[in-house]
Amino acid sequence: MPIQSIKTALLTGMFAIGCGCATFLDASRASAQAEGRAERSEPSVRVRVIGPDGRLTEPMMVPKVVLSDAQWRQRLTPDQFRITRRKGTEPAFCGGLLANKEPGLYACLCCDLPLFGSTTKFDSGTGWPSFNAPVAVENIREKLDRSMGMIRMEILCMRCDAHLGHVFRDGPPPTGLRYCLNSDAMRFVARNQILTIAEDPTAATRTGRGEATLVSARKETAEAVFAGGCFWCVEAVFRQLDGVVEAISGYSGGTARTANYKAVMTKRTGHAEAVKIVYDPEKISYEQLLRVHFATHDPTTLNRQGPDIGPQYRSSIFFADQQEKKIAEAFIADLNEAKVFPRPIVTKLEPLKAFYPAEDYHQDFVVCNPQHPYVLNVALPKVDQVRRQFSDLVKPDGQ
Adjacent-strand bridge partners of 63: 44
Task: Give the chain's end-to-end CA distance (angstroms, integer).
Answer: 33
Q: Which run of H or E residues covers position 9?
A: helix 7-12
**Residue 68, Cβ density class (10 Å: 0-12 exposed, 13-18 middle, ≥19 buried):** exposed
Short-list 335, 293, 350, 295, CA closest to 5: 335
Give the three-state DSSP class for 314: coil
Asked if 386 and 398 count as a contact pair (C-beta separation under 8 A), the reply is no
180 labelled catalytic: yes
Query: What is the chain's alpha carbon radius of gyration, rounded to the nearest angstrom?
Result: 22
Spatial distance between the Cα atoms of 311 and 269, rounded to a whole number of angstroms: 9
Instruction: Measure the CA–CA gap between 45 and 205, rounded to whole angstroms.
Output: 11
Cα distances (angstroms) measured from residue 103 to each of 106, 107, 195: 10, 13, 14
Active-site entry in 21, 180, 233, 368 = 180
Of 359, 123, 324, residue with least CA distance to 231: 359
Considering the candidates 19, 110, 160, 230, report the single residue annotated as catalytic.
230
3-state DSSP assignment of residue 8: helix
- Determine contact, residues 198/56, Cβ cutoff 8 Å: no
Distance between CA atoms of residues 250 and 365, nearest Å: 12
Q: What's the sign of the alpha-carbon dihedral 247, 251, 256, 261?
A: negative
Cα gap 233→213, rounded to integer Å: 43
> How far is residue 352's CA from residue 319's CA, in Å, rounded to a whole number?
5
Told to judge if 230 belongs to the known catalytic residues of this protein, a careful annotator would answer yes
* Residues known to be catalytic: 180, 230
